[in-house]
Amino acid sequence: MAKWDAFELNEEDERETLADYEDIGYARKPARIPLAIAFLAAIAGISFAATSTADFVAHLDRQVHAMHCSVVPGAQASLGESGCRTVMLSPYSSWFRDQYWGGIPISLLAMAVFAFLAYRIGHLTWRGRPARIETGLILLATVLPVVMSVVYGQLAMSKVGEMCDVCIGIYWSSGILFISMLVAVFMSEGQAAVVPGGGVRRFAVGLLEGASFVAVAGLIYVSAMPVVTAGNAAVKGTAGCGVLTQPEDKNRIMIDLSTHSGGTPSIEILDPLCPACRAFDERLVASGLHKKLSQKAVLFPLDPKCNWMVKESLHPGACAVSEAMLCAPGEAKRILGWAFEKQEALLKLGTDDKKLRSLIKSTFPGVKDCLGTAVARNKVVRSLRWAVANALPVMTPQLFVGGKRLCDEDTDLGLEYTLTRMLGGAQ
């Protein structure tokens, strides 16, 4: 047994050996694992937020562009309606929309927050052996994207009615980031601050760093936006895109939508079964600017059953609904609300004119004696002739404020900015 004596360790030697192992990392709590996961989640958040911001920026030229609406990296952008487009056009996608055309996108600020978190987490991951106070402060910072994800997810479901796939990617990144940092806190070493009050100082420094990331991103974005000068597209928008040459309602075909004391007179050209009209009215209400308008509407159904300017039925059934609104002006606003709410079903039913008219009569008994009569058809014709007399393009929606037409390019992202100035509210 003597030959093994050289390999025996006493308790003191064992303690020294374990201390050596701890110094080189073997006994270290593996906080790097959750930190690495948190770092990757922050990078994913940057990617999703950057994609959303790039799509937003592309629309600042006041044109329609393809959008990326997939959580798959590198997925092809597509034109047409999507949850991402609907969310982007909603007033919840950006801040300060009345001060800047389109406003400052929330996704830009999210990108800055994720960049700050990636920077701080990456530093701790590279350095190793983080103190619990360090991971705890970063955990506190991850609460912000989690809270904002909950708030904007709720807004998307309850107010917008659509979910954005890229936004969902941001929500998942925020959740994984928070959970990973929570685990990292428990796996970090419970070292105290080096100096009294060090925790407060670290928190203050971290807060200033995070705020600087957001502020710099916002300042760069605003400074890169087109300058509003004479001849600039934004000025053209505030000046309007045409005027009404014959605004008088001689045949009494205009529908009262809303009347606000001191509101600027406005006329909206709409089709009750037009999805774009419904979306425009929702954006107008969400912006709060509808309270500054006294709105009337001129019906312009894009349905060849009554509109000779349309060759194909873009919105089948729009003629019947328009007749109903003109038959009962007192109930027109309620009929319009019903048409917007049931729009998808009514468009499908619109191919069967008889069934649609029967449904309208059963829902609004007051139009029974008028709907389908020559009187009702003549009212629709007069409404269309009013549009012809004013040389209006064959499209909906159109909004005239004080006789000036809101440019088509300004009915979505630029609505608040342009309409505020057209109403004389810009300082």
Between CA 8 and CA 14, with CA 11 as vertex, the angle to 5 degrees is: 75
Query: Which tokens sit at 377?
Result: 């058809």
Distance of CA 406 to the CA centre of its chain: 21
Spatial CA neighbour of 400 closest among 285, 253, 270: 270
d(CA 355, CA 348): 11
Q: Quick check: 50 and 111 in contact, CB under 8 A? A: yes
CATH topology of domain 24-224: de novo design (two linked rop proteins) (1.20.1440)
pLDDT given for residue 16 in this prediction? 47
Region 22-37 average pLDDT:
67
Task: Tell me the percentage of the chain whose pLDDT exceeds 90.
Answer: 48
Strands 404-405 and 398-401: antiparallel
d(CA 172, CA 156): 15
Band of pLDDT at residue 267, cut at 50, 70 and 90: very high
Distance of CA 110 to the CA centre of its chain: 13
pLDDT given for residue 30 in this prediction? 74
d(CA 50, CA 47): 5
Query: Which tokens sit at 200?
Result: 């407060």
At residue 2, does pLDDT exceed 50? no
Region 403-415 average pLDDT:
87
Ordered by start, the domain boundaries in the chain are 24-224, 241-422
**Beta bridge mates, 148:** none
d(CA 269, CA 396): 6
Strands 255-258 and 293-299: antiparallel
Strands 104-105 and 255-258: unpaired
Region 290-313 average pLDDT:
91
Tens-place pLDDT, residues 72-107:
766 677 766 778 888 898 889 999 988 888 899 999
Contacts of residue 111, Cβ cutoff 8 Å, sequence gap at least 6: 45, 46, 49, 50, 53, 217
Q: Could you tell me which residue, 64 or 157, shows the higher pLDDT?
A: 157
Helix 132-155 vs helix 32-58: crossing angle, to nearest 10: 40
Spatial CA neighbour of 228 closest among 238, 219, 218, 220: 238
Helix (H) or strand (E) holding 323: helix 318-327
Number of alpha carbons in the 13 Å side-chain half-sphere of residue 63: 5
Band of pLDDT at residue 341, cut at 50, 70 and 90: very high
d(CA 98, CA 117): 30
pLDDT given for residue 93 in this prediction? 92
Band of pLDDT at residue 36, cut at 50, 70 and 90: very high
Tens-place pLDDT, residues 214-235:
999 999 998 887 654 434 544 5
d(CA 290, CA 284): 6
At residue 159, does pLDDT exceed 90? no
For the domain 241-422, what is the CATH superfamily, name and number?
Glutaredoxin (3.40.30.10)
Q: Could you tell me which residue, 163 or 128, shows the higher pLDDT?
A: 163
Region 45-62 average pLDDT:
90
At residue 1, does pLDDT exceed 70? no
pLDDT given for residue 167 in this prediction? 92
Q: Quick check: 42 and 118 in contact, CB under 8 A? A: yes
Q: Which amino acid is at 368?
A: K
d(CA 270, CA 302): 9
Band of pLDDT at residue 392, cut at 50, 70 and 90: very high
pTM, to two decimals: 0.76
pLDDT given for residue 110 in this prediction? 95
At residue 399, does pLDDT exceed 50? yes
Spatial CA neighbour of 199 closest among 248, 149, 131, 257: 131
